[in-house]
Amino acid sequence: MIKELAQDLVDLIFDWGYWGIFILMSIESSFIPFPSEIVLIPAGYLASQGQMSVFFIMLSALGGSLVGAFVNYYLAITLGRRILKRYGKYFFINEDVLVKMDGFFEKHGHISTFIGRLLPGIRQLISIPAGLARMNLGVFTIYTALGASIWAFILTMLGYFIGENQELLDLYLKEITIAIVILLFVLGAVYVYYQKAKIAKSKII
SS3 state at 21 = helix
Task: State the Cα–Cα distance between residues 39 and 172, nearest whole angstrom.
Answer: 17
3-state helix, strand, coil split of the chain in percent (to 5) is 85, 0, 15
Average of per-residue pLDDT values in the chain: 81
pLDDT at 27 over 50: yes
For the stretch 142-168, what's the b/e string if a residue is b when 16 or more beta carbons lie within 10 angstroms of its beta carbon?
ebbbbbbeebbbbbbbbbbebbeeeee
Read off the pLDDT of residues 58-96 as tens digits, 9 standing for 90 and up.
Answer: 999 999 999 999 999 998 888 877 776 666 665 556 667
pLDDT of residue 30: 84
Detail the DSSP E strand segments found in the chain: none
